[in-house]
């Protein structure tokens, strides 16, 4: 289970090492590196371009490392959660990941919290997430 970068790690672990895990929970993780880099403020984009890859010249590399394009490799249950008002991690990453999983016939449960942002601040929402993860 992971949130934000931890959610990225969950998605990558399940997509790139099938068979190693029995399930996962992703909260506000990035599923498409190219899309994410394009959405960043230019100051942050410089860092991502240097450390992860340049969208302009390394689209294939970014695509090969984006879990959303490996949805068919995820063969274990995945819980995806996202705050509808998240301005840090765009909800489109969760939408796309769940769509890819469902198209591949994988088990995906998707929780969207209409009154949350990047983190889950409300105790009732944290309890709902924990109950779903259990």
Active site residues: 4, 86, 118
* Cα 87 to Cα 74: distance, rounded to the nearest angstrom: 27
DSSP label at 38?
A: H
**DSSP secondary structure letters along 65-133:** T-GGGGGGG--S-EEEEEETT-SSS-THHHHHHHHHHHHTT--EEEEEETT--SS--SHHHHHHHHHHH
């Amino acid at each position: 289970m992971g949130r934000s970068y931890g959610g990225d790690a969950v998605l990558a672990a399940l997509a790139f090492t099938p068979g190693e895990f029995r399930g996962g929970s992703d909260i506000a993780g990035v599923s498409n590196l190219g899309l994410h880099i394009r959405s960043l403020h230019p100051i942050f984009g410089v860092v991502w371009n240097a450390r992860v890859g340049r969208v302009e010249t390394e689209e294939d590399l970014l695509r090969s490392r984006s879990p959303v394009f490996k949805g068919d490799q995820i063969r274990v249950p995945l819980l995806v959660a996202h705050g509808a008002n998240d301005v840090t991690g765009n909800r489109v990453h969760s939408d796309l990941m769940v769509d890819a999983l469902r198209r591949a016939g994988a088990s995906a449960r998707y929780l969207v919290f209409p009154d949350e942002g990047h983190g889950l601040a409300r105790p009732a929402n944290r309890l709902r997430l924990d109950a779903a993860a259990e």
